[in-house]
Structure formats: C-alpha cells, structure tokens
Structure 1
Amino acid sequence: MLSRYGIFCGVIEHKSFTRTAEKLGYSQSAVSQAVRALELETETVLIDRRKDGITLTPDGEQYLPYFQQIHQAEQNLERKEQEMKGLKNSVVRIGTFTSVSRIFLPGLMMEFKKEHPDIRFILQQGEYTSIARWVEEGSVDFGFANAEAVNNLHTQILYRDEMVAVLPKGHRLAKKEIVSLKDLETEPFILLDEGEYSVPEQAFQRRGLHPRIEYKVYDDYSILAMIRQRLGVSILYRRVLEGFGADLVIRPVKEQMERPVALVFRNWDTMPYAARKFASYVQMKVEAGDQRVF
C-alpha cells in the first residue's frame, strides 16, 4: 500500500485525483484524504485545485522533491524486502571445517538452491577456534564447530562424529580388532589440528598418557597421505574416511571419542534473513533424519 507521499507523487504525475485513483485502485476520496493529510502535516496548501485541473502551489513545488525522495526510498525498501523474502541475490557466509564442507553441506546446498537458485554461498574453512572468532566478529553469518570447543556463542548440536584409529597397512596394531590409547601412546602420532580444543589430546591427558606427537596437521586428507607413507598413525573422524580409507587400516578405539558437531551462531534474531533461512533448513533436514545428510 502506498504512503501519502507516494499518493501525492501520483496525483502530480497524473495531474488528476480521479486518474490517480484509477491507476492505484483506490477510491477518489481515499486519494483526496491522503493529500489532505499531507497538507495538514506540512501545515500548508500543496495543490491548487481548479476546474481545469490541478497545479502545485509555490509551497507544493518546494516540498515536491522531498516527497519524491521519500517515495523513492519507500519503493527501494519494498523491493529490498521482497528480495530478502525471495532470497534473491543473497549471500550466506558459513564458517566450516573439512568433513562438514565435504560430506554434510554439499547436498543441503544443492537442495536449497533448487528452491532459491539465486542464493550464493561462501564457505570459509578453519578450525573450531577460528570459526568461533569469525562468528563473533560477524565475518561469517554462522558456523559449524565442536560444541565443546565453543564459548560465548549459541550452539545447537546436529550430530555426533565418532573417532577411529587410522594405521598404515601392515602396522603391528593392525592385528588387533580394537586399539587403545595406550597402544597408540608410543607410536609416531600425527595430530589433527582442531585449534585450541583437540578431542584426542583431551582423551590422552585424562588418562595420564603422553603421545609422541611428531606432526600436527590441519588437513585431514594430508594426514591420510602421510599415514600411507608410513610417517605415523592418527585418530580421525569416521566421516572423513568415507571413500578415502583404501590402503589404510581403520580400527575402533577402546576409549570411545566423538565430537558433537553443532550449528554455532551469535544471535538468531539478528542473523541475515537468507542465512537464518538456510540454517533453519539444515535443522529441519537433520531433525527429519534425511539420509542425504547422513
């Protein structure tokens, strides 16, 4: 619905109350009332009403450019609101880590874009500490992280990711069906860099064990390549190994370890509309147990 500023601009454009009412689908009295309300607001007569038509009064000529600017701003605001509701030309910025961006997100983004083809995604890779910082700073709209590694942010746990031991073929521990942290303590260990909070390191420390950490590597798949070259052993998340476990020995760990993977955000209500819409879509798919997600 047009404001009185828009109606006034329409009357001046069409030079008639009647034609303006017809164009807008309003009654002529509604158009007249809107103009009259504007005259009461400005405490002056804006339009000279004559039998042969209407003209602006000197005061009306002074006010018209300002009314046009307000009307244009209102139109721009309306277009933006429609754009946001339709998710047109919107960008969703997500902080994420390897297994989420490789396994969890692609199918969700593909399905979401079927409904909203104009939306764009920016995935910023990092570890939990940096992802939490990006969310706090607002450089990403929301993120995914280990819920236990995040403070001062809202988290909603989506799923739990189990950790397993990864060994090179022919390794002495490959004969065991289950390995323990004590078994791994003396092996050259390749630690996945998870930032300030490491699930395997926490597990070793709780049991008073001191692994031989010879490498600390951010990328899961670099670790797999290093294990294949017999540079050491590691403990990695089972999801990371899907499709990449060939030529490796994977064993459960006696001391079960897992990370609660969570949606991480600062303030749901102030999150950009497109990001909030996609985050809600992710939550819905997880709650529904969609097999394309898992």
Structure 2
Amino acid sequence: MNISQYETFLKTIELGSLTKAAEVLGYTQSGVSHMLNALESDCGLKLMVRDRSGVRITADGQQLLPYFQGICNGQHNLSEKINEIHTLESGLVRVGTFTSVSAQWLPGIIKRFRGDFPNIQFELLHGTNEEIENWVINGRVDCAFVKIPTKQQLESIFLRRDPFVAILPENHILAKEPFLSAAALSEYPYIKLDESVDDGITEILESHHIKPNVCFVEKEDYAIIAMVDNGLGISVLSELVLKDTARKIVIKDLEFPADRDLGIAVKDKNMLTASAQKFLGYVQLWILEEYGPTP
C-alpha cells in the first residue's frame, strides 16, 4: 500500500467514476484500475463496487475511508511543513550563549534576522563555555557562541577578538594613568569573576604570574561593574561586556596583552536545519557590519 493508492481511491469515490478520476489524477483508466485492485488486494477487502452506473463505496470501504483521508491529509501537511522550513516560514533556532554576547550582539542579530524571517523562533540557553560546548555536542543547541579554539571537536567560525581591559572607579588614584599595571592588580582591592563563569581572565593573569588582591568574588559581570562603580575595587573584564555601559567607571588597557577569540560553533554544518544555517550567515554579516573586516 502507498499514498498514491489512497489518493486514487479517495478521488474515485469522490467523483464516482474511474474515468473521471483518471483524468483528474493524470493516469490512464487502466492505471487507476490497477492501483485500486492492488489496494483491495493489500487490504484483503472489497472497498468499492464498479458497475455501469459508476463506482460506489462498500461498507468496508466506508470504515477505512476516514483513515485513508487522514493519511493523505497528513502527507499534505507534512509536505507543506517541509516547504515552510525550506522557505523559512517556520522553524526554531536553539542558541547557546553567555552574558556579554546576549547583551551586546544577539539583540541586533536577532532583530535583523527576524526582520527578514519573522516566523522563526529562538531559544537561548545561557551557560559557561564548557556547558555550552557540551550542549552543541549532545544536540541540545543548534549552534553556540564560544571561546575558540574549542576544547571539544566542533566546527567553529571566528567572529572577533575581544580584549580584556581593566575597570576602575571614576575617582580612583590610577584613573588618569595611561594603562593599568600588573603591580596595581596585586596592590589594590580586586573583584574577581567567579571561576565557574571565568572568561579566561584567571588563566591570562596566571600566565603573567599575577596574583590579584582578591577581596570579592562575583558570578555576574554586571554586578562586578556596579561594585566598581561604587568604589569597592578594580577588576578585569572583557571589552564586549562593557560596551555602552552607563556606569561611572574608567576603562583602561592592561600593560600586558590579554584577549579572547570569540566564535560560533556547531557540531556539523551539514546537519543544521535550514533556519540555523541561515542564522549563521546573519551572525557573520552582522559582525562584519558592526566591526568591519577582521584585521
């Protein structure tokens, strides 16, 4: 049994004639007769009576009729849904992300994307870099913003190098210095980003043998910015998270090189949904327009 047999049966019953059904479906009359015979043989039932007056459905055929209709309607709906997905009339993009990207990049990217594809929905999952990579591996998300190179075997696209910078209260004694020294990090009260969400700052400080004078440990970037604004200490955060901040803080370069490379990662580009593939393109285009070509 196959969908063509069901459709032929339904059209024949609807029109009451093999000849008319053959004309509408684009088959020969013998072709229609063959499909109907095959359907009855597969079911082991007499589904219709054919005589000179036309075609009439049997009691057994009447019982199966709604099931054939359901299968054909389901096939039609499936074809429509597949077409919608290909034309991005519907879909869901699941994205792994973290605070700075969610605040500074995603609103602009999603606004641009949904301007062209308003029916695509988004699910955003926030986590640490390790958690996000695992979500990509196990299929929890379609794609994810990550620090690259990734620890997992993922396909990644470089987006932007994000410097780490120092932040100080506006009235800090070092506020007018051209940069913040390593010695200053060890001398003045330091507000540390918690290890569980550390963007790589601790690793960089340790590589330069710097031991900050840690007085507070906080999980949220924006809470650290507020604490610095209130004169509770100095800190080091990514430049991205500080974009457009209204807090009364001073942002300084560090005297040593410190940055992270940000990208977007997937498990296998070839296995992405049409909407997720399109989203990747919009991410790259938005970054290019926002920051210009990568040096």
Fold match by TM threshold 0.5:
yes
Percent identity between the aligned chains?
33
What SS does structure 1 have at the residue aligned with 2:290? coil
The CA deviation string for residues 139-198 of structure 1, in whole angstroms up to 9 with x for no partner, is 333221212454233322211111111111232322321223333123222223463654
Structure-1 separation of matches of 2:132 and 2:110 = 19
Name the aligned partner's letter for residue 147 of structure 1: I
**Residue 135 (structure 1) aligns with:** 136
**Residue 222 (structure 1) aligns with:** 223
User: Given the superposition, is the C-alpha separation of residues 83 and 169 from structure 1 closer, same or farther in structure 2, using an over 3 Å criterion?
Assistant: same
What SS does structure 2 have at the residue aligned with 1:3? helix
Note if contact 2:98-2:128 (Cα within 8 Å) is conserved in structure 1: yes
Q: Kindly tell me the number of residue pairs found equivalent between the two proteins.
A: 288
What SS does structure 2 have at the residue aligned with 1:269? helix
Structure-2 separation of matches of 1:215 and 1:149 = 29
Name the aligned partner's letter for residue 33 of structure 1: G
Note if contact 1:199-1:257 (Cα within 8 Å) is conserved in structure 2: no
2:210 is aligned with 1:212: no
What SS does structure 1 have at the residue aligned with 2:162? strand
**Residue 9 (structure 2) aligns with:** 8
Note if contact 1:7-1:35 (Cα within 8 Å) is conserved in structure 2: no
**Residue 127 (structure 2) aligns with:** 126
For residues 170-181 of structure 1, the aligned pairs below 5 Å read 170-181=171-182
The CA deviation string for residues 261-291 of structure 1, in whole angstroms up to 9 with x for no partner, is 11122233333433333223323444xx223
The CA deviation string for residues 239-276 of structure 1, in whole angstroms up to 9 with x for no partner, is 22222155211111122221111112223333343333
**Residue 188 (structure 2) aligns with:** 187
What SS does structure 1 have at the residue aligned with 2:270? coil
Unpaired runs of 5+ in structure 2? none
What SS does structure 2 have at the residue aligned with 1:227? helix
User: Given the superposition, is the C-alpha separation of residues 284 and 11 from structure 1 closer, same or farther in structure 2, using an over 3 Å criterion?
Assistant: farther
Name the aligned partner's letter for residue 39 of structure 1: N
Note if contact 2:192-2:235 (Cα within 8 Å) is conserved in structure 1: yes
**Residue 27 (structure 1) aligns with:** 26
**Residue 235 (structure 1) aligns with:** 236
Displacement of 1:49 in angstroms is 3.3
Structure-1 separation of matches of 2:217 and 2:142 = 29
User: Given the superposition, is the C-alpha separation of residues 197 and 206 from structure 1 closer, same or farther in structure 2, using an over 3 Å criterion?
Assistant: same
Displacement of 1:134 in angstroms is 2.9
User: Given the superposition, is the C-alpha separation of residues 172 and 7 from structure 1 closer, same or farther in structure 2, using an over 3 Å criterion?
Assistant: same
